[in-house]
Amino acid sequence: MTMVHLDDTPPASAGQPVRGRRRRRRWAAAITLPVAALLFGAYGWQPGEDGRAFRSPYLAQVGSRYAETPIARFHYVQAGSGSPVILLSPGGTSVIGWKDQLPALARDHTVYVVDLPGQGYTRLKDRGFAFDLDAMTTAVGAFMDAVGVRRAALAGNSWSGGWALAFAQRHPDRVTRLALLDATGLDLPGTLMWESLKIPVVGELAVKLSTGKSTVRALAEGMMVNKQRVTDQLLDEWWAPMTFHDNIRATYLLERRLDWAQTERALPATRTPTLVLWGRQDTVQPVERAHRLAELLPDARLRILDGCGHAPQLDCPEAVNRHLGAFFAGPR
């Protein structure tokens, strides 16, 4: 008798579609989960506003003031008497950025140091605020109107130097003198770190993850040559407003929306007397950009400070005070 063996095992090819589907599902899960986590981190998660609990010794000493406008409740400090000087808080920080200049300039001037929207302790009211050059220059004018200043000398560092420049270009009748400290304003790329903030998801997540004190210390020390000036007290003052949700959002929006091609094109027609003051060791805005600004501005004087970085008013305050004091004391 012939024995017939029956084999129930399906051909090898029959299991392949099942295994293929499983592999695709595993790959999809491997991709989807990290993407979902990134999207949640960028758009769903918010770090704690730990800086809200900080009580600033500096502000307790100099006294916070507020100017109410439809755009924002502007936070500022004020000292001295005489012709007005307005110092715009450096981009990404607060009025602490001019702590050494306030008393020095107040000997001869009424000095205002103001946090613009998205900076320091100013509270934004206009939820449609665009965080572009038009919006930031409008905010400068709104603050000046709120404190009753028609014309003033204006100074800024980094981003705020670019905002001061843009305001002087739009409203030359309101700016007597202009001081640009390691300022933006040229249509040139920033560092890799800052350029990365222009990328959706990456920018949101990077700024949110940069609010820890250790990261802020590294950022501050990376900008300065004289790193011993980054004291624990200065670090606390610098860090606290960087944790505020409105300021976090403003940082990546400003990086994406500030169009420095506008300011560069207008430089040859910018006739406001201008001081271009720069740290030779600036790693954010290389010193070559200072020379370029001075070449394009019709009425500019250039001063390069050796041994100073991107925030010279904090890094080399004595030299900055000397140059600003002499410049603002000139003919009006």
Q: pLDDT band at residue 80, thresholds of 50, 70 and 90?
A: very high
- Identity of the residue numbered 264: E
Residue 247 lies in a domain: no
Q: pLDDT band at residue 40, thresholds of 50, 70 and 90?
A: low
- In angstroms and rounded to an integer, the radius of gyration of the C-alpha atoms of the chain is 26
Tell me the torsion sign for CA atoms 286, 227, 116, 124. positive
Q: Give the largest Cα separation in the chain, rounded.
A: 123
125-159 per-position pLDDT tens digit: 999 999 999 999 999 999 999 999 999 999 999 99
Residue 200 lies in a domain: no
Residue 5 lies in a domain: no
CATH of the domain at 127: 3.40.50.1820
Is pLDDT of 28 > 70? no
160-186 per-position pLDDT tens digit: 999 999 999 999 999 999 999 999 999
| Cβ atoms of 319 and 312 closer than 8 Å | yes
Indicate the number of domains in the chain: 1
pLDDT attached to residue 75: 98
The closest alpha carbon to 112, from 47, 64, 42, belongs to 64
d(CA 194, CA 189): 9
Q: pLDDT band at residue 4, thresholds of 50, 70 and 90?
A: very low
pTM attached to this predicted model: 0.89
pLDDT attached to residue 24: 72
* Residue range of the domain that includes 96: 57-187+260-328
Higher-pLDDT residue of 217, 198: 217
Site of tokens 């009748």: 173
308-326 per-position pLDDT tens digit: 999 999 999 999 999 999 9
Q: Which residues pair with 319 in a beta bridge?
A: none
236-250 per-position pLDDT tens digit: 999 999 999 999 999
Site of tokens 């991709």: 31
Residue 207 lies in a domain: no
Write the Ramachandran bin of 224: left for phi over 0, alpha for psi from -120 to 50, otherwise beta: beta
- Strands 300-305 and 274-279 come out as parallel
Higher-pLDDT residue of 1, 28: 28
pLDDT attached to residue 202: 87
Q: pLDDT band at residue 92, thresholds of 50, 70 and 90?
A: confident
Residue 108 lies in a domain: yes
Lowest mean pLDDT among 5-19, 25-39, 99-113, 272-286: 5-19
Is pLDDT of 35 > 80? no
| Cβ atoms of 211 and 47 closer than 8 Å | yes
d(CA 227, CA 159): 21
Note the residue count of the chain: 332
Find the Cα–Cα–Cα–Cα dihedral 138, 144, 148, 149, rounded to 10°.
-120
Q: pLDDT band at residue 22, thresholds of 50, 70 and 90?
A: confident
Residue 167 lies in a domain: yes
Residue 113 lies in a domain: yes
